[in-house]
């Protein structure tokens, strides 16, 4: 409904900060971007609308990190791997013992992770600003440079001036405000559903494990879920539990079920999704208590502040990564990361099928620098699930380990641009790659910065 318009009086807005590198969004991509920029010598600020960092891993309680390996070796290294290992070391001794060698599907203790991220950004020299929302950008007269952003918080309205800016909002908010073209969803605009994740306490893992062993059901409880759907205890839809991530024998994170028709770029949809998601969690809790041994006394201790969002905008960049690139394990001369996570597109309705495409063990594809360069803007990078890709590849790139890698590359690129007083497209990509290698980023066996890689050459080999 259109309620008309109102004219807002012109006002002077104070400049609250001037920085070299401004990172918007405090999820995995933003954390890595800010740390790498600050460690490279840039005066760096990170702006986050919540009161803590972590994105989907803390805000939405996504229960586990997606794989860091290609099922043969770790391919996500650098800051992303260091931060996950740091979380492990901050957890209880029993947790450390169980997950010390694990790199794929490592359970997240969200409160520990919040503190780890706080410490990591502060130690690097980043200035964090929480409880703050960006509502507009200011561009240069030619429209090709972002001069800064308009923010609002409890202190009022103000302007942050910056030389370089990294959009890590996950939704491409800054790029969209700057007029960068984008796509959203499939050809009809249909988006993957969201999920309301949550933590259950007072559970009995040994009893649950005995149940799985005795019944032959899987950790995803296919048979039990199908039975509950048949008997009306669960709605039609997802036939298994995507994730039970055991933080301890009595505390488990859960990713189960979908909330459909939510556009994560619309506040009204996020509001409806949060309410519907909490109702869904209650129904699922009753399912666990009734159907799953070990969960009879389960207690809901927390649900996500918002739905976990899988898909919104994909910006138009200098290169669009395609499903053909993924399936052929293409490598690129400007690779800044590798990816082996499978294409994971969740059903758009309760009657739809899910799409999964896996690469063979030991195989990965390259992520080129150009997918993070939004067309038409000279001092902006985009990192995370809104980079330039087709919809299928977005279903693979969107997970936290990949976001760490892309964020680290953007933050490092920004320090190079600052050093050379140039823009995002004029930096030396071989120098960027060399710096990433020095930061323990893995770009393939025998990788040579700036060399032209043959398709699949580095991705198809499995040796270290």
pLDDT of residue 458: 40
Q: Read off the DSSP letter of residue 56.
A: G
If you average pLDDT over residues 199-218, what whole number do you get?
A: 96
User: Hey, what CATH topology would domain 12-188+310-464 get?
Assistant: FAD/NAD(P)-binding domain (3.50.50)
Q: Which residues have C-beta within 8 Å of that of residue 445, sequence separation ≥ 6?
A: 458, 461, 463, 464
CA separation (Å) from 423 to 256, 415, 426? 43, 11, 5
Confidence of residue 456 (pLDDT cuts 50, 70, 90): very low
Q: Residue count of the chain, please give it.
A: 464
Strand ranges inside 154-293, DSSP E: 156-167, 182-184, 198-201, 243-248, 251-255
If you average pLDDT over residues 125-142, what whole number do you get?
A: 98
If you average pLDDT over residues 335-360, what whole number do you get?
A: 78
Check pLDDT > 60 for residue 354.
Answer: no
Residues of the chain with CATH 3.50.50.60: 12-188+310-464
Q: Which of 105-119, 247-261, 448-462 has the lowest mean pLDDT?
A: 448-462
What predicted TM-score, i.e. pTM, was given to this entire model?
A: 0.94
| 360-373 pLDDT per residue, tens | 999 999 999 999 99
If you average pLDDT over residues 260-272, what whole number do you get?
A: 96
Check pLDDT > 90 for residue 5.
Answer: yes
Q: What single string gives the DSSP state of each residue in 256-302?
A: ---B-S--TT-HHHHHHHHHHHHHHHHHHHHHHHHHSTT-TT-EEEE
- Cα–Cα distance, 62 to 110 (Å, whole number): 9
Residue 367's CB: how many other CB atoms inside 10 A?
27
pLDDT of residue 353: 52
Check pLDDT > 90 for residue 279.
Answer: yes
Q: Which of 62-66, 127-131, 426-430, 444-448 has the lowest mean pLDDT?
A: 444-448
Whole-angstrom distance between the N-terminal and C-terminal Cα of the chain?
59
If you average pLDDT over residues 296-303, what whole number do you get?
A: 98
| 432-455 pLDDT per residue, tens | 999 999 999 999 988 999 776 544
Q: Which residues have C-beta within 8 Å of that of residue 397, sequence separation ≥ 6?
A: 321, 339, 341, 367, 385, 387, 389, 406
Token representation of residue 137: 């950008």
**Sign for the pseudo-dihedral over CA of 92, 98, 102, 107:** negative
pLDDT of residue 452: 61
CB-count exposure of residue 142 (10 Å: 0-12, 13-18, 19+): exposed
pLDDT of residue 243: 80
Q: Which residues have C-beta within 8 Å of that of residue 301, sequence separation ≥ 6?
A: 199, 200, 201, 251
Token representation of residue 181: 């073209």
pLDDT of residue 77: 98
3-state DSSP of 78-118: HHHHHHHHHHHHHCCHHHHHHHCCCCCCEECCHHHHHHHHH
* Contact by Cβ (8 Å): 86, 161: no
Token representation of residue 39: 């460690």
- Cα–Cα distance, 393 to 239 (Å, whole number): 24
pLDDT of residue 348: 59
CA separation (Å) from 225 to 67, 133, 196, 221, 359? 25, 40, 17, 6, 28
Question: Considering the chain, what is the average pLDDT of its residues?
Answer: 94
Check pLDDT > 70 for residue 351.
Answer: no
pLDDT of residue 207: 98
| 215-257 pLDDT per residue, tens | 999 988 999 999 999 999 999 877 888 789 999 999 999 999 8
Confidence of residue 349 (pLDDT cuts 50, 70, 90): low
């Amino acid at each position: 409904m259109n309620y008309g318009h109102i004219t807002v009086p012109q006002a002077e807005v104070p400049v609250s900060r001037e920085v070299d590198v401004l990172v918007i969004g405090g999820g995995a991509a933003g954390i890595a971007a800010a740390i790498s920029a600050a460690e490279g010598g840039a005066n760096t600020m990170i702006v986050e609308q919540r009161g803590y960092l972590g994105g989907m891993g803390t805000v939405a309680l996504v229960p586990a990190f997606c794989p860091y390996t290609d099922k043969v070796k770790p391919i996500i290294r650098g800051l992303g791997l260091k931060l996950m290992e740091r979380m492990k070391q901050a957890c209880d001794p029993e947790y450390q013992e169980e997950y010390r060698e694990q790199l794929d599907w490592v359970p997240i203790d969200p409160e520990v992770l919040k503190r780890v991220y706080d410490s990591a950004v502060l130690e690097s020299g980043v200035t964090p600003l929480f409880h703050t929302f960006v509502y507009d950008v200011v561009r240069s007269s030619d429209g090709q440079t972002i001069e800064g952003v308009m923010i609002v918080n409890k202190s009022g309205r103000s302007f942050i001036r910056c030389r370089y800016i990294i959009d890590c909002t996950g939704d491409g908010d800054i790029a969209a405000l700057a007029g960068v073209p984008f796509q959203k969803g499939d050809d009809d605009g249909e988006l993957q559903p969201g999920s309301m994740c949550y933590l259950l306490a007072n559970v009995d893992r040994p009893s649950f494990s005995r149940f799985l062993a005795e019944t032959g059901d899987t950790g995803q409880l296919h048979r039990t879920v199908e039975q509950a759907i048949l008997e009306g205890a669960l709605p039609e839809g997802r036939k298994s539990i995507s994730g039970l991530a055991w933080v301890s024998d009595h505390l488990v994170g859960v990713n189960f079920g979908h909330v459909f028709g939510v556009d994560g770029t619309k506040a009204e949809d996020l509001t409806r999704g949060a309410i519907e998601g909490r109702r869904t969690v209650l129904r699922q809790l009753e399912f666990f208590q009734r159907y799953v041994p070990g969960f009879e006394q389960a207690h809901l201790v927390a649900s996500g502040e918002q739905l976990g969002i899988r898909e919104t905008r994909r910006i138009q960049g200098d290169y669009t990564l395609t499903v053909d690139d993924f399936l052929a394990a293409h490598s690129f001369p400007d690779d800044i990361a590798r990816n082996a996570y499978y294409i994971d597109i969740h059903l758009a309705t309760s009657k739809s099928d899910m799409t999964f495409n896996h690469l063979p063990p030991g195989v990965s594809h390259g992520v080129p620098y150009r997918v993070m360069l939004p067309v038409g803007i000279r001092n902006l990078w985009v990192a995370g699930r809104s980079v330039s890709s087709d919809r299928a590849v977005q279903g693979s790139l969107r997970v936290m380990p990949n976001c760490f890698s892309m964020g680290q590359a953007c933050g490092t690129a920004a320090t190079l641009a600052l050093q050379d007083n140039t823009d995002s497209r004029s930096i030396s990509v071989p120098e960027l790659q060399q710096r990433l290698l020095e930061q323990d980023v893995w770009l393939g066996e025998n990788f040579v910065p700036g060399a032209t890689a043959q398709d699949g050459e580095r991705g198809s080999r499995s040796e270290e």
